[in-house]
Amino acid sequence: IPVVHGEALQDVRYEKAEGEGIAKITINRPEKRNAFRPQTTEEMMRCFSDARDDPDVGVVILTGEGAQAFCSGGDQSVRGEGGYVGPDKIPRLNVLDLQVQIRRLPKPVIAMVAGYAVGGGQILQMMCDITIAADNAVFGQTGPKVGSFDAGYGSTQMVRLVGQKKAREIWFLARLYNAQQALEMGLINTVVPLERLEEETLVWCREILRNSPTALRVLKAALNAAEDGQAGIQELGGNATLLFYQTEEGNEGRRAYLEKRPPDFSKFPRFP
């Protein structure tokens, strides 16, 4: 059993393609259509954290085991009052933390979707930067049928992807949509035959991996920035600091402080 950040994984598989720059996180509960329970989500967060920290990883694939489902959302059989309950008996909505983690991860995250992506699973798919779907993929919200809703990114990100009318249709009617329909409404990036899903996903990953990691990182932050308010600006701003710390000008300040002398910024240009 692979151990990530100290503990063994049960609900999730985590793989890295040696020398490729690709990490893959697979929700591994096919008997439940890859529904997540608190443990699943916690394990996914550990994997995403590892993928973020690993300098050899440039792209992360998120997928579900088998061809029947990407993810069917929260596991309704462990839903208690106030959230989804694990062995510690504490009700949790910790998938919300996972959504934020995917959003903030400074590397592209690609959803590779076969079968059902519904409920909280469809929202995870929306949080990913790119979605490659198999022709058997099915998308939709079931929340209003099972007494749930996602009024966070599940609503705000949805409306940005598909527009107001369609977002209201998806949430109010709780219908299911096929891959072609999802493509037409802007929920996903492309549709491929199921047997070519992994191959096509790797093509997209390798194309991304050829590009400047810093450009990708700043672009992801930039594309998030306005939508995410102060948190979005903080993410984008952090990249400015990261780049500034790599300049002579930034380091003059640090050196002067450590050498107990006044900083000399006179040689640095003031660009128009």
CB neighbour burial string for 117-156, b if at least 16 within 10 angstroms, e if fewer: bbbbbbbbbbbbbbbbbbebbbbbbbbeeeebebeebbbe
> Which residue has the closest beta carbon to ligand 1HA?
73
Q: Which is nearer to ligand 1HA, 76 or 101 (CB)?
A: 76
Smallest gap, in angstroms, from Cβ of residue 139 to ligand 1HA?
A: 11
Q: Which is nearer to ligand 1HA, 70 or 204 (CB)?
A: 70
Phi, psi of 68 (to 5 degrees): -85, -25
Can you spell out the DSSP letters for 191-241?
A: EE-GGGHHHHHHHHHHHHHTS-HHHHHHHHHHHHHTTTHHHHHHHHHHHHH
Report the alpha-carbon distance of residue 133 to residue 113 in Å, rounded: 5
- 121 touches 69 (CB < 8 A): yes
DSSP 11: S
Q: Which is nearer to ligand 1HA, 155 or 189 (CB)?
A: 155
Smallest gap, in angstroms, from Cβ of residue 123 to ligand 1HA?
A: 7
**Residues interacting with ligand 1HA, by CB under 6 A?**
32-33, 35, 69, 72-77, 93, 95-96, 116, 118-120, 142-143, 146, 148-150
Helix 95-104 vs helix 120-127: crossing angle, to nearest 10:
10
Give just the sign of the alpha carbon dihedral 245, 232, 229, 83.
negative
Smallest gap, in angstroms, from Cβ of residue 95 to ligand 1HA?
A: 5
Smallest gap, in angstroms, from Cβ of residue 141 to ligand 1HA?
A: 8
Q: Which is nearer to ligand 1HA, 146 or 242 (CB)?
A: 146
Q: Which is nearer to ligand 1HA, 108 or 115 (CB)?
A: 115
Report the alpha-carbon distance of residue 94 to residue 18 in Å, rounded: 31
Smallest gap, in angstroms, from Cβ of residue 118 to ligand 1HA?
A: 5
Smallest gap, in angstroms, from Cβ of residue 42 to ligand 1HA?
A: 14
Q: Which is nearer to ligand 1HA, 98 or 132 (CB)?
A: 98
